[in-house]
Amino acid sequence: MIGYIEGIFLCLSSDRLKDQGWLRRLMFAPVCAALSAFIVSLCFTLSLTPAYSQTPPASSISQEDSVLKGLNALKQHRLDEALDAFTAAEQRYPTDANVRNFRGIVLAQLGRNEEAAAEYQEAIRLEPKNKDAYRNLGFLRWTERRYGEAREALTRAVSLFPDDSFAHYYLGRVQLDTQQFTEALRELKLPGVSWPADPDFLIQVATGYEAIGKRADACEPLNELLKLPLDDTQSARVASLLLNVQQNAKAIELLTKSSTRQLAGSGSWVQFDLALAYLLSGRAEQAVEQGNSHLELLRKSKAKPNEMAPAWSLVGLAYARLGHGTLAVEALRQAATLDPHREEGWLNLTRELMELGRYAEAISAAEKGIAANPNSYVLQLRLGAASLAAGQYHDAERVFRSLADAGDPLPTSYIGLAQVLLREGRAEDAVSELSAARERIGSNFLINYFLGLSLDRAAKRTEAITAFQEALRLNPDSSEANLGLGKSTLAVGRIGEAIAALSEAVRLAPGNAQAQRLLSQAYRRIGDTKNAAKYAETSAETSSVPETDLLGDFLLPAWRMPEQSKRE
């Protein structure tokens, strides 16, 4: 009971929670009855406590009166009077941990946080197992965002009293605020730990579940959020989370409601987010329509060019999704031109141009992007890739080699260089470059995979097998590496190993016709005509693989928030 009352008073002391009506509703209702019962029990407890039993009866009554006076004043929020009473009790009995704890509560309500913390710490020194002082100190530090100290104190409170839902809840809040999501959700899901109907808290919980890959669990707080009144910022964040967990219809419904609340001309952010929601939901035609409406609003409000660029990107991506390549390029070119220092715009434009086979334009766009963003690593890579696709091997080699020679810590430029060399029939050179890269940046799946391809092309199949095996050690679920291993082992007559690797490649990628064809050949070589025929027939069929990635490697514009629209 002591801890419960202290928790009530301390919660109400926090500036951080002054606006959280849920806390007041939760805790004020039982406070009067609980405090009355506590005062009665306190009188009985004081009469039995050894520390007081050694003092004259008159002193006990005086100390008891000071505590009761302080509690009554605290109940009625007469903080100065409560402080005087607890100060008097503390002066008479400076070694009483509970009095120290109560005085800390009053000081916290008065905003004298360091003095309050000192009282809690002294209570802990006097009584090292005083869980109430630990949890009050932890709560105080949480309100101050001093998360390390809060975590330490609340962890100690939980260890002293494992069933303390207050300590578990706020320990969970500390972990949530520091993005230790697994630990946070473990605390918050314990039996007896209640969640407030607070939108910001529930958004944090849903974000945590989504971050650790538990999307189904994220639906619980998201569904609760849909029952609560949300402001514009909260609506945008909830809609984004709903889309992340494939609750597309709910996201669109929420944003549509937000749109109807906006005054004419002030709803730019929600129009943009609604268009983005349509795009992410696979409703590209509606994304185009909504995106163009958003652009019209921006034109009327005389928005700055860089403020219009994300909308053009969105419309361009929607056109690309619909297969309208020319319109997509026009929109994406607008986005890149309006905000040339945003490399994502150039990446989307060059990606669509390459998809359409317009390699010369892709090279030109990449060069313009690099001129505006001279330190862009990804645009350099895109220039190399566009040159490679265009068959301009000399230029591609120059780009990739310059990145590799500069000490690229990532495997990408080395792999690009190796692909150029393989296209030119220089497999031995590719092996040399990739071997040097492996020495420089360490063993890496992609380096080993492309090293295996290069060694196989150079007819060094035993070494290729070793490279593919290393790649699979690093990424056992790669159908491509299994295919490479199967192809190399088949070439050297290790049929059993080839069948195992190719079967795994087919399992991981059922539509891989090359793996099926090679598997058919492997079975034929051991006389298994039944399986040979089976995989020969399968490889001849056109596999229908459901499309799950709606936008490929396009880079989406970020969600807009209401604060951004206020600046438009």
Cα–Cα dist 28/9, whole Å:
10
Residue 206: name the closest of 151, 247, 255, 165 by CA.
Answer: 247
The band of 527, judged by pLDDT with boundaries at 50, 70 and 90, is very high
Confidence check: pLDDT of 565 > 50: no
Structure confidence at residue 9 (pLDDT): 37
pLDDT tens, residue by residue, 469-495: 999 999 999 999 999 999 999 999 999
Cα–Cα dist 370/336, whole Å:
12
DSSP letter assigned to residue 444: -
Structure confidence at residue 551 (pLDDT): 52
Residue 94: name the closest of 72, 70, 137, 125 by CA.
Answer: 125
Structure confidence at residue 562 (pLDDT): 66
Confidence check: pLDDT of 63 > 90: no
Helices (H) and strands (E) in the chain, counts: 33, 0
- The residue ranking higher by pLDDT, 172 or 550, is 172
Report residue 535 as tokens. 């995989």
Contacts of 76 (CB under 8 A, 6+ apart): none
Contacts of 14 (CB under 8 A, 6+ apart): 108, 139, 140, 143
Structure confidence at residue 541 (pLDDT): 54
Report residue 46 as tokens. 């004081």
Domains of the chain, each with CATH number or no CATH:
2-190 (1.25.40.10), 476-542 (1.25.40.10)
Q: State mean pLDDT over 294-299.
A: 91
Report residue 553 as tokens. 């490697």
What phi and psi, each to the nearest 5 degrees, are found at residue 409? -80, -5
The band of 93, judged by pLDDT with boundaries at 50, 70 and 90, is confident
Cα–Cα dist 86/65, whole Å:
10
Pick from 37-46, 155-164, 214-223, 529-538: least confident: 37-46
Confidence check: pLDDT of 6 > 80: no
Contacts of 373 (CB under 8 A, 6+ apart): 340, 341, 343, 346, 379
Cα–Cα dist 39/64, whole Å:
10
Q: State mean pLDDT over 28-39.
A: 33
Q: State mean pLDDT over 270-286.
A: 92
Is-contact 22 12, C-beta < 8 A? Answer: no
- Using a pLDDT cut of 70, give the percent of the chain over it: 82
Contacts of 422 (CB under 8 A, 6+ apart): 430, 453, 454, 457
Cα–Cα dist 182/211, whole Å:
9
Confidence check: pLDDT of 529 > 70: yes
Confidence check: pLDDT of 148 > 60: yes
Pick from 1-10, 109-118, 273-282, 558-567: least confident: 1-10
The band of 45, judged by pLDDT with boundaries at 50, 70 and 90, is very low
DSSP letter assigned to residue 558: P
pLDDT tens, residue by residue, 381-419: 999 999 999 999 999 999 999 999 998 999 999 999 999
Cα–Cα dist 202/318, whole Å:
32
Cα–Cα dist 254/421, whole Å:
52
Structure confidence at residue 232 (pLDDT): 85
CA distances from 536 to 441, 497, 513, 519 (A): 41, 19, 9, 8
Structure confidence at residue 318 (pLDDT): 96
Amino acid code (one letter) for 372 = A
pLDDT tens, residue by residue, 417-449: 999 999 999 999 999 999 999 999 999 999 999
Cα–Cα dist 413/269, whole Å:
38
Residue 279 CB coordination number (10 Å) = 26
The band of 539, judged by pLDDT with boundaries at 50, 70 and 90, is low
Structure confidence at residue 57 (pLDDT): 34
DSSP letter assigned to residue 547: P
What's the pTM value of the predicted model, to 2 decimals?
0.72
Confidence check: pLDDT of 247 > 50: yes
User: Among the residues of 49-161, which ranges form H helices?
Assistant: 50-53, 57-75, 79-92, 97-109, 113-126, 131-143, 147-160
Specify the long-range contacts of residues 79-86, CB closer than 8 Å, at least 24 apart. 79/106, 79/109, 79/110, 82/106, 83/107, 83/110
Structure confidence at residue 217 (pLDDT): 95
Is-contact 349 313, C-beta < 8 A? Answer: no
Contacts of 527 (CB under 8 A, 6+ apart): none
Confidence check: pLDDT of 1 > 70: no
DSSP string, 131-168: HHHHHHHHHHHHHTT-HHHHHHHHHHHHHH-TT-HHHH
Structure confidence at residue 567 (pLDDT): 42
Confidence check: pLDDT of 81 > 90: yes
Residue 376 CB coordination number (10 Å) = 18
The band of 67, judged by pLDDT with boundaries at 50, 70 and 90, is confident
Report residue 101 as tokens. 């704890």
Report residue 188 as tokens. 């918050």
Cα–Cα dist 73/71, whole Å:
5
Report residue 412 as tokens. 């990408």
Specify the long-range contacts of residues 455-461, CB closer than 8 Å, at least 24 apart. 455/427, 455/431, 456/484, 456/487, 456/488, 456/491, 457/422, 457/427, 457/430, 458/427, 458/428, 458/430, 458/431, 460/431, 461/488, 461/491, 461/492
The band of 544, judged by pLDDT with boundaries at 50, 70 and 90, is very low
Confidence check: pLDDT of 131 > 60: yes
Amino acid code (one letter) for 219 = C
Cα–Cα dist 273/222, whole Å:
18
Burial tier of 82 (Cβ tally within 10 Å: 0-12, 13-18, 19+): buried
The band of 367, judged by pLDDT with boundaries at 50, 70 and 90, is very high
Q: State mean pLDDT over 55-73.
A: 64
What's the mean per-residue pLDDT of the chain? 85
The band of 287, judged by pLDDT with boundaries at 50, 70 and 90, is very high
Structure confidence at residue 537 (pLDDT): 79
Cα–Cα dist 163/3, whole Å:
12
